[in-house]
Structure 1
Amino acid sequence: MRKPVIGIILGDATGVGPEIVCKMLDATRKRTDFRPIVIGNEAVLKAGMRHAGKELEYRILSKMEEISDLTGEDSLILYDNGRFDPGDLAAPTKELGNSIIEMIKAAVEMVDAGLIDAIVYAPINKSWINLANPDFSDEMQLFKHFTNCDGLCLEMNHCHDVWTARVTGHVPLMQVSKYLSVERILEVVTLTDKCLRDLGIANPRIYVAALNPHGGEGGLFGTEEIEIITPAVEAARKRGMNVLGPYPADTVFHRAFAGECHAVITMYHDQGQIALKTKGFGEGVTMLAGLPIIALTPAHGVGYDIAGKGIANHIPMLNTVNVAVSMVRQKERID
């Protein structure tokens, strides 16, 4: 059986990314169920090895066509095309952002060329992307641009067998309500249902969280549940999806982690993130759902406060790679 090939982007060179990549590669060096190809700058990889206290043997390739035939070769490959240099890390500039953009671009090109099956990227700081190119505010926009994707895409987070997706993302809390609509919630539920099926869950059960305290208390504490969320749930059920709710947000995750459902749709960012990070801080995985390719990242930040100290936890990176391998295997079964 063919090994899934996972492209591993080193991420923000000033954060913990290079370190956790090296720790993950060391921990998986004897595994035979996937093959990693590292995408990034050689000096950054070497710094990651120093910080991780790991020595990895690798072969560096600078041209994509050199990767096309690695049959029978077991050595770790670093793809460094010369455009991933982050510049002076002591005083970072937009060069750091350019390096992130170039790594993502190269990874997408490698998927398109059939050289890798999925992308796992170490944490990045969105502000560096925006500094380098003001047309983009985060990596999702970059991935959509490089994959020519104009459909709905959103982050799905995973922890302890529960997935979450959110109807609104990085918007002020006071503006959440105005972004809610039956159509938007239905889109998010539909995409979540598809992604869970792509993961091999035959009949996903999805719970939808309420927005207001006590689920609105029959309209006493807000009417979004009556006017928007419940109609969206009913519309999803009419389309054959196994969707229930809205459930009060202060209890829905208790039910989810007890095994009642596969995913929870939240109305805003922290409604889901607080639950997942409390349950398993440092264990989560984020999937960029809706893209035509598989792209995932650990569900934590760049960790500037511990970068270079050798204490970063690589388990989230390992979890992310495991999910990527599973997704590739499932995609092969479907195809």
Structure 2
Amino acid sequence: MSNTQTPAQKPVVALTLGDAAGIGPELIARLLAQPGITEGANIVLVGDAWLWQQGQAIAKQTVATQVVTSLAEVRGRADTRLPAFLATDTVQAAQVQRSQAQAACGAAVLTVLNRCMDGAKRGEVDAICFAPLNKQAMKLGGLKHEDELHHFAEYLGVTGYFCEFNTLGDLWTARVSSHIPLKDAAAMLSKERIMDATRLIYASLKASGNHSPKVAVAAFNPHGGDGGVCGREEIDIIEPAVAQLRASGIPVDGPFPADTIFLKAQAGQYQAIVTMYHDQGQIAIKLLGFSKGVTVQGGLPVPITTPAHGTAYDIAGQGVADVNATLNAYKIACRMGQAALAR
């Protein structure tokens, strides 16, 4: 997509700087310094001016922007070759101790993300890509939910099924349960949740540009339950869900033992994997490409993406953070934002 197109043809993608004590600001500076970065979207950066300047200094990048005073101005810009910048006032430099989880930083993240979601509700933003945040800081700063996804869903009025997707290149994963104690994972298994997760990742992959994805479903127990000897969840719950999904026309197979399912995906047999709990998929995805992975917030009315890694407090401020995952998250936001704009 070229910048000769009108702004209305390009999705408005809101970028945020993430946790002020982490690597987010420098990552966004490095992202926006990439050649041709505005070709896929009408970008608006939302964040505190001092933090944006600090991020550029750490990354040793200078990025020109066009200042706007509201999200409503962004879509109508005559020239989108420069990112728009909407300055906020959410946290002061004196409140931030680098590399530490702090209430002020968490509250600032929530304020900026809420502002972007307000813009999405008004039709001013087509997709959001946020730099890494810290759940502990956000909870200190007022987050009432187990994670940001549940906050997004409540804020946006979602009543249907939603879940996180983790992606690595052409491979996407979903999970039936997420940020809960492992002892509670079995209680979260149900035919309905497995079917919801599979339908959602299948539809989301198609919205991101993959028109014919195939889905694999993981078993819950070791060795896929060994025919019931090592657990009956596969027989009683997972297999019936897969059969009903296949009968409805979704190309899905399984359940496959979790210790071999990613080998099938690596070989190109499947583009999506539905796992039963958090670490079942996260360990594999992060081993395959920690510095490239993306988290997509699935089931929301606006596409929201972020790099799959965290705030990396151990290297914050050193200017060595890898931008690849952030770039991949931005690209997915552009594709999904374009699809949303076309609807």
TM-score by length of 2: 0.91
Give the match for residue 57 of structure 2: 50
Give the match for residue 9 of structure 1: 16
Moved more, 64-73 or 314-323: 64-73
Give 1:75 deviation, angstroms.
Answer: 3.2
Give the match for residue 101 of structure 1: 110
Moved more, 284-293 or 196-205: 196-205
SS of structure 2 residue aligned to 1:106? helix
Give the match for residue 82 of structure 1: 89
Tell me, yes or no, if structure 1 residue 327 matches structure 2 residue 326.
no
Give 1:92 deviation, angstroms.
Answer: 6.4
Tell me, yes or no, if structure 1 residue 168 matches structure 2 residue 194.
no
Give the match for residue 68 of structure 2: 61
Give the match for residue 166 of structure 2: 157
* C-alpha distance after superposition, 1:37-71 (max 9, x if no partner): 11111111111111101112224334344445321
Choose the corresponding residue for 2:313, options 304, 317, 328.
Answer: 304
Give the match for residue 242 of structure 1: 251
Query: Residue 45 of structure 2 aligns to which amino acid in structure 1?
Result: V
Pair 1:65–1:276, CA change in 2 (3 A): closer
Which runs of structure 2 are paired with 1:234-313 in the superposition (5 Å)?
Answer: 234-313=243-322
Give 1:222 deviation, angstroms.
Answer: 1.4
- Count how many residue pairs are aligned between Structure 1 and Structure 2: 334
Query: Residue 304 of structure 2 aligns to which amino acid in structure 1?
Result: A
SS of structure 2 residue aligned to 1:13? coil
SS of structure 2 residue aligned to 1:226? helix
Which runs of structure 2 are paired with 1:65-144 in the superposition (5 Å)?
Answer: 65-67=72-74, 69-72=76-79, 74-83=81-90, 85=92, 88-90=95-97, 93-144=102-153
Query: Residue 183 of structure 2 aligns to which amino acid in structure 1?
Result: M
Pair 1:150–1:20, CA change in 2 (3 A): same
Give the match for residue 197 of structure 1: 206
What's the C-alpha RMSD, in Å, of the aligned pairs? Answer: 1.9
Q: Structure 1 runs of 4+ off > 4 angstroms?
A: 84-87
Give the match for residue 219 of structure 1: 228
TM-score by length of 1: 0.93
Query: Residue 179 of structure 1 aligns to which amino acid in structure 2?
Result: M
Query: Residue 20 of structure 1 aligns to which amino acid in structure 2?
Result: L
Query: Residue 30 of structure 2 aligns to which amino acid in structure 1?
Result: K
Give 1:196 deviation, angstroms.
Answer: 2.0
Pair 1:15–1:214, CA change in 2 (3 A): same
**Distance (whole Å) between structure 1 residues aligned to residue 307 and residue 166 of structure 2:** 9
Moved more, 53-62 or 153-162: 53-62
Moved more, 204-213 or 86-95: 86-95
Query: Residue 113 of structure 2 aligns to which amino acid in structure 1?
Result: I
Query: Residue 63 of structure 1 aligns to which amino acid in structure 2?
Result: S
* C-alpha distance after superposition, 1:75-129 (max 9, x if no partner): 3322123345576112764222221111111111222333332100001011222
**Distance (whole Å) between structure 1 residues aligned to residue 326 and residue 85 of structure 2:** 18
Give the match for residue 324 of structure 2: 315
Q: Does the CA-based 8 Å contact 2:175-2:275 persist in structure 1?
A: yes
Give 1:312 deviation, angstroms.
Answer: 0.1
- Which sections of structure 1, spanning at least 5 residues, go unmatched? none
Q: Does the CA-based 8 Å contact 1:208-1:247 persist in structure 2?
A: yes
Query: Residue 129 of structure 1 aligns to which amino acid in structure 2?
Result: M
Identity across the alignment (%): 35
Give 1:5 deviation, angstroms.
Answer: 2.2
Give 1:34 deviation, angstroms.
Answer: 2.1
**Distance (whole Å) between structure 2 residues aligned to residue 33 and residue 39 of structure 1:** 18
